Amino acid sequence: MTQAPSDATTIRLEIARYRPEQDERPVLERYDVPYRHEWVVLDALNYLKDHIDGTLSYRWSCRMGICGSCGMMVNGVPKLTCSAFLRDYLPGPIRVEPMANFPVERDLVTVLDDFMEKFQAVKPWIIRDGEQPLEEGEYRQTPAQLADFKQFSMCINCMLCYAACPVYQHEDEFLGPAVLALAQRYNHDSRDQGKGERQELIWSDEGIWDCTFVGECSAVCPKHVDPAGAIQQAKVESTVGWYRSFLAPFGRG
Amino acid sequence: MRRSNEPLFWSLFSAGGVVTALLVPALILVTGFLVPAERVEFGRLEAILSHPVGRLALFGVASLTFIHAAHRLRHVLVDMGLRRFRGPIAVAAYLAAIGGAAWAATVAFA
């Protein structure tokens, strides 16, 4: 923000193109687009699609870091392209590739099926044994109870953390950072009673225990959710549960 | 879904991390610098470490440090790409840690 406007007039983009009908593998193609001080990488991509090559495919929607659609690798780092300013990459070139660790469908578009499946597997909704009658009013929460999970509820499912995670890169089964943070978000909600239902999956080898606390997920998270912190928190809870199951095998886990 | 036994190893790893970070620098300072510089009398240190509680503490610090190192080495090697050997790596790392702990016991309780 404090940088003086640059006198650059164009900036070079190196875009990973993959057109399954003609490319055997993704290839980098170079495009020169106008440079503007206030433009983000997504603006440059939109210019490219509107004026240079209309066949470029990529996902985007809100342009303001809310929808989580426009995640890509910018110079090798997972970024929301709507929040990555061209001026931070001067003099260029800027390499834009699809999010790492996901299969590529076309150009900058990745296949999200694996994430969607894991997302549902942790039951990311409030589970209750039974609803309290309407006349008892709403479920009330103290500020402290809200603070316990609020940070983990800020996730926008942009999947940058999956693109950054070296464990997910190798372990297809690993539930991954965002999903585990989301599980923690519901487990720590005072209105939720579904911890037991989520536990088996979360506390398994494919859940939190594949994580080796590299921390890249939290480093790239545009919403400061801190998935690595969520997983560490869950590891402590899982460990307490593990020891308790030996000390009181017939008690509550 | 099989329940993970990782909590056992992870809790020992965590305990090892805490004692390594908190106590090992102090031990290095005392045994490596303060005793040779005669700021701490050797006889006093020996008396502390000869007491049964002192021996137990010494054994705890050494063995947990070995386990911490083994656990970290195991996961680093796997993360760096040796996934095909994850089983043998785990066995070798923890056996080395148990060996180190046994050695620490012979020193501490001699």
Q: How many domains is chain A built from?
A: 2
CA A129 to chain B, closest CA, distance in angstroms equals 23
Asked if residue A2 is part of any domain, the answer here is: no
- The interface predicted TM-score of the complex, written ipTM, equals 0.80
pLDDT at residue number B4? 83
pLDDT at residue number B77? 92
Q: Give the model confidence (pLDDT) of A56-98 as tens digits.
A: 999 999 999 999 999 999 999 999 999 999 999 999 899 999 9
Q: What are phi and psi of B54, to 5 degrees?
A: -60, -45
Q: Which B residues in the span 15-74 are in contact with A, Cβ-Cβ below 8 Å? A: none
Spatial neighbors of A20 by CB under 8 A, at least 6 apart, are A106
Both A28 and A104 in one domain: the answer is: yes
Domain that includes residue A88, residue range? 10-110
Asked if residue A253 is part of any domain, the answer here is: no
Both A236 and A172 in one domain: the answer is: yes
Q: What is the CA radius of gyration of chain A?
A: 22
pLDDT at residue number A250? 62
Q: Rounded to the nearest 5 degrees, what angle is found at the Cα of B79, between the Cα atoms of B76 and B82?
A: 95
A171: closest chain B residue by CA: B83
CA A99 to chain B, closest CA, distance in angstroms equals 20
pLDDT at residue number A55? 96
- Which of residues A67, A82, A110 is at a domain's end? A110
What are the residue boundaries of the structural domains of chain B, listed by start? 9-108
Greatest Cα-to-Cα distance within chain A, rounded to the nearest angstrom: 72
Specify the amino acid at residue A125. Answer: W
Both A132 and A87 in one domain: the answer is: no
Sole residue written with tokens 């409030």? A126
**Full DSSP string of B51-76:** SHHHHHHHHHHHHHHHHHHHHHHHHH
Token output for A147: 């603070």
Q: Domain with A67 in it: what CATH number?
A: 3.10.20.30
On chain A, the residues whose CB falls within 8 A of the CB of B13 are none
Both A155 and A58 in one domain: the answer is: no
- Length of chain B equals 110
Both A69 and A142 in one domain: the answer is: no
Sole residue written with tokens 């088996």? A200
A243 close to B (CB below 8 A): yes
pLDDT at residue number B1? 61
Asked if residue A1 is part of any domain, the answer here is: no
Question: Alpha-carbon distance A99 to A26, whole Å?
Answer: 13
CA A37 to chain B, closest CA, distance in angstroms equals 40
Both A118 and A102 in one domain: the answer is: no
On chain B, the residues whose CB falls within 8 A of the CB of A242 are 3, 5, 7-8
Percentage of chain A exceeding pLDDT 90: 86
Both A119 and A89 in one domain: the answer is: no
Both A135 and A71 in one domain: the answer is: no
Coil, helix or strand at residue A141: coil
For chain A, residues with pLDDT lower than 50 are 253
Sole residue written with tokens 């965590």? B14
Asked if residue A93 is part of any domain, the answer here is: yes
Q: Give the model confidence (pLDDT) of B7-22 as tens digits.
A: 999 999 999 999 999 9
Both A144 and A157 in one domain: the answer is: yes
B83: closest chain A residue by CA: A170
Q: Give the model confidence (pLDDT) of A122-135 as tens digits.
A: 999 999 998 889 99
Contact B11 A239 (CB under 8 A): yes
Asked if residue A234 is part of any domain, the answer here is: yes
Asked if residue A4 is part of any domain, the answer here is: no
Coil, helix or strand at residue A75: coil
Please state which CATH number belongs to domain B9-108. 1.20.1300.10
pLDDT at residue number A4? 61
Contact A201 B11 (CB under 8 A): no
Q: Domain with A124 in it: what CATH number?
A: 1.10.1060.10
Question: Alpha-carbon distance B101 to B106, whole Å?
Answer: 9
Contact B4 A167 (CB under 8 A): no
- Which of residues A110, A140, A173 is at a domain's end? A110
Both A202 and A133 in one domain: the answer is: yes
Contact A242 B7 (CB under 8 A): yes
Q: Rounded to the nearest 5 degrees, what angle is found at the Cα of A191, between the Cα atoms of A188 and A197?
A: 65
Both A80 and A119 in one domain: the answer is: no
Contact B79 A242 (CB under 8 A): no
- Which of residues A58, A76, A110 is at a domain's end? A110
pLDDT at residue number A2? 53
Q: Give A56's Cβ-side CA count (13 Å radius).
A: 29
Both A73 and A126 in one domain: the answer is: no
How does the average pLDDT of chain B come out, rounded? 91
